[in-house]
Amino acid sequence: VQLQASGGGLMQAGGSLRLSCTASGLPVSSRPVGWFRQAPGKEREFVAAISGDTDATRYADSVKGRSTISRDNTKNTVYLQLNSLKPEDTALYYCAAGTYRTPLSVLREVNGNKYWGQGTQVTVSS
């Protein structure tokens, strides 16, 4: 199983970005997938997640209302759209996936994920 995160870069505050998480060896159509981020000197934190069966979503309070997680089953890819970027969004963003039966309440915990991607850096300048 591989999760390839991409789409990061240097962004301006107030701008938008879309991160992609492309999976191989794992069908995103039936697996819960989440996004996490880790800023320098801080612990990895939950950002957003989408369930594998019902398309239910969960968001961290820090991005709620300005982010959307979605899935394209034909491309086996999960996206994270993040708008109104802030300097505090600067972090290394990871995608992760759980097992078929992992509920989102568990997936949002770092230890609740079975597979991890390598991360993509997002830097937001003010």
pLDDT tens for each residue of 15-42: 999 999 999 999 999 999 999 999 999 9
Give the CA distances from residue 87 to residues 47, 49, 51, 64, 124, in Å, rounded to whole numbers and listed in that order. Answer: 15, 22, 29, 16, 5
What is residue 9's predicted lDDT score, i.e. its pLDDT? 97
Weakly modelled stretches of the chain, pLDDT under 70? none
